[in-house]
Structure 1
Amino acid sequence: MSELELDVHRDPDGIAEALRVDVRSGLSATQKWLPAKWFYDARGSELFEDITRLPEYYPTRAEREVLERQAGEIARVTGARTLVELGSGSSEKTRLLLDGMREHGTLRTFVPLDVSESALAEAVEAIRGDYPGLDVRGVVGDFTEHLGLLPGDAPRLVAFLGGTIGNFLPADRGKFLRSVRDVLTEGEWLLLGTDLVKNPDVLVRAYDDAAGVTAQFNLNVLRVVNRTLGADFDLDDFAHESYWDARNEWIEMRLRARRDLTVRIPGAGMEVSFAEGEYIRTEISAKFRPNGIAAELTENGFAVERWWTDEQNRFGVSLARTVS
């Protein structure tokens, strides 16, 4: 692999077609929705990195606290030769794992996977420069579609951090965990980050910061639809909201129409009408309880070997081994 070569499994035509399918399905539904993965073009990835540094957004700091303390233990328990990170972004937290695994002496290959080619290229270049001798194989793809194409020698450790597992609806979450299990052999590993149930005020502020960065991140999905499918969304017509759904124990991010309006989306062959106050659900972010996490992992072919939280019990990290 050359210095900046990536394995790319997302071509522009395929991306546009996938977005077209999601827009047709989501914006024709009675309760309109769009998948959270469409936030993450180059601009969206930059905005999310900004979010992780906001004072209100505790998950990144809490998870980093756990990894700082436990990276050596993770390396010792797994003995992993390959670290795979799903949805890697800038791979900043992953450096804690890389340091621990390099010190342990077993790590040979790092495989970051991300939907954003530009963000991944930047991360791969930085990791290669800082970890000479490590085989770094960047993969541009969707972790719901391309898990079976990931390279690397066993035993592998798949890291799915940041609480991203919470973006799946419960039924889809189970399918995803099973798909990860199916590409691993018995005795390989999953490191899973999960945000925990806590005071709703803390949760809502984490997704609706005072500086408005999360609002811009949320609106970015409309920019992506405009650019890719030729839509004429006016971003000023929509207001960002974060809402705590106590029954489902998840945060919803929404874009609520400020007035009656119609949007044309030529690339999807449709027009979409909105009544004032109607909203698009753009993300769910489920929050978890420890016994629920363990049960879901067990149901989908994993056994939890280690469980850690930060000192304030805000965020949990599970280390689970595949079982038959």
Structure 2
Amino acid sequence: MSKSKQELLGYQSHLIQDNLTYFKPTRTSTTVTFAEEIRSSLQEPKKSISPKFFYDENGSKLFDEICTLPEYYPYNSETEILQSIEKKLLPYLSNEFHLVELGSGSSVKTRLLIDVLFKSQKHLQYFPIDISEILDQSAKSLCMDYENLKVTGVVDTYEKGLDFIEHYDDKPNLITFLGSSFGNLDHNEGMKFLQRINTLMKSDDLFLIGLDLKKDHEVLHNAYNDSQKTTAKFNLNVLKRINEELGADFNLENFEHHAVYDEQKGRIEMYLRSLSEQSITIPKSDLSITLSKDELIHTENSHKFSISQIESYLKESNFEKLEMWFDSRKYFALVLGKKI
């Protein structure tokens, strides 16, 4: 890709080491800032904080801890599938694929896919797309461990990052969206997201998405209310982040983690519950709020899907389902598709 083409698309390259480069937008960002978004969402009648703000450095570490908990099945279930599908995935791959990952993801899962791709090709280019500007240590570790791997990170939204990669060269991409992040979106948001991904894909691209399945309520409850209270720390950490970055005065001891399953909506809903009537100021958001006792701040939805719902999503967003794989307990699904 020529330098002029990079600049035309509004990106500047940053060489970290020989086989690790990041592209960042040079254009002026039009995205709403952290301070502005917190101001908007916390002055609504039903207060909320977007789950995308969970993942500062400490939040990311806490989420890694959550993935090791015995109650938190999604990580182990998806990893089990990835470890078992090599022979089933290889027939869809040629010696030309790039690996594209939406979100930096777990290096364990990424490595499993890299290992599969290296069975069909000698060289591989890996594109992690993430809005975060933190250059993950795992990318450097991957470069050290795989001699013929080149990592090209794109620091941007998923959609803009995919648009950049589609213009990068003519090689097909295996685009992956692992974990259960898709479940954070409501139906309309999810449909728009899938349709946008589909539009940005080349005809020979493949899309691999992880989806959490509907299951026993107790299993769901325990996954989000673990005995070590790590999920509670993760949820509360977003208030700590607002304190540190926006100068707020949230007292974390005045809040508790609250996660419930809404069967009708088919989703876990996660909140922070105010334990008393209290007032909070957030100077950098130019905001003061009052919370009543037991008032909830919504932080995340995590939708669970039936197989028929998954097939409906795919059909409506113009994807052909090639494969649907499950873990041994049928807790989780990995779906491989291509655009129709």
| TM bucket, shorter chain | over 0.9
Residue 203 of structure 2: which of 182, 186, 197 is its match? 186
The counterpart of 2:240, out of the listed 216, 223, 243, is: 223
Q: How many residues align?
A: 321
Q: Percent identity?
A: 35
* CA pair 14-201 structure 1, distance change in 2 beyond 3 A: farther
Which residue of structure 1 lines up, in the alignment, with residue 337 of structure 2?
A: 320
Q: Distance in 2 between matches of 1:106 and 1:291?
A: 38
Q: Supply the distance in 1 between the matched residues of 2:218 and 2:203 (Cα, whole angstroms).
A: 41
Equivalent residue for 2:253, pick from 236, 242, 248:
236
CA pair 266-175 structure 1, distance change in 2 beyond 3 A: same
Contact 2:79 2:109 in 1 (8 A): yes
CA distance in 2, matches of 1:144, 1:208: 33
Amino acid of the structure 1 residue aligned with 2:113 = L
Check 1:270–1:177 CA distance in 2 against 1; reply closer, same or farther (3 A cut).
Answer: same
Cα distance in 2 for partners of 1:236, 1:301 equals 47
Q: Does structure 2 conserve the Cα–Cα contact (< 8 Å) formed by 1:181 and 1:302?
A: yes
What RMSD, in angstroms, separates the aligned Cα atoms of the two structures? Answer: 2.1
Q: Distance in 1 between matches of 2:86 and 2:37?
A: 38
Aligned-partner residue type, residue 238 of structure 1 = F
SS in 1 for 2:49: coil
Partner Cα distance (1:62, 1:134) in 2: 27
TM-score, length basis structure 1: 0.93
Deviation at 1:41, TM superposition (A): 0.8
Q: Does 1:109 align with 2:110?
A: no
Secondary structure, aligned partner of 2:16: coil
Counterpart of 1:251 (choices 249, 256, 268) is 268
Structure 1 pair 283/41, CA: closer, same or farther in 2 (3 Å)? same
Instruction: Judge which range, 243-252 or 184-193, deviates more.
Output: 184-193
Contact 1:193 1:316 in 2 (8 A): yes
Q: How many angstroms apart in 2 are the aligned matches of 1:46 and 1:115?
A: 17
Report the Cα offset of residue 73 of structure 1: 2.4
Q: Which runs of 5+ in 2 are unaligned?
A: 1-14
State yes or no: 1:2 paired with 2:16.
yes
- 1:100 partnered with 2:88: no
**Cα distance, 1:23–1:144 mapped onto 2, change above 3 Å:** farther
How far did 1:145 drift?
5.2
* One-letter amino acid of the counterpart of residue 148, structure 1: D
Of stretches 177-186 and 45-54 in structure 1, the one that deviates more from structure 2 is 177-186
Q: Give the residue type in structure 1 aligned to 2:250.
A: F
Match of 1:61 among 71, 76, 83: 76
Deviation string for 1:71-122 (max 9, x for gaps)? 342232133611101112342211111101101227621111234443x420
- Are residues 149 and 229 of structure 1, via their aligned partners in 2, closer, same or farther at CA, if it must alter by over 3 Å? farther
Q: Which runs of 5+ in 1 are unaligned?
A: none
Aligned positions of 1:166-185 closer than 5 A: 166-185=183-202
User: In the alignment, residue 51 of structure 2 is paired with which amino acid?
Assistant: A
| 1:284 and 2:301 correspond | yes
Q: For 1:270, which of 287, 291, 294 is the aligned residue?
A: 287
Looking at structure 2, the residues matched to 267 and 200 of structure 1 have their Cα atoms a distance apart, in angstroms, of 40
Partner Cα separation in structure 1 for residue 241 and residue 304 of structure 2: 27
1:34 maps to 2:49: yes
For 1:57, give the aligned amino acid: Y
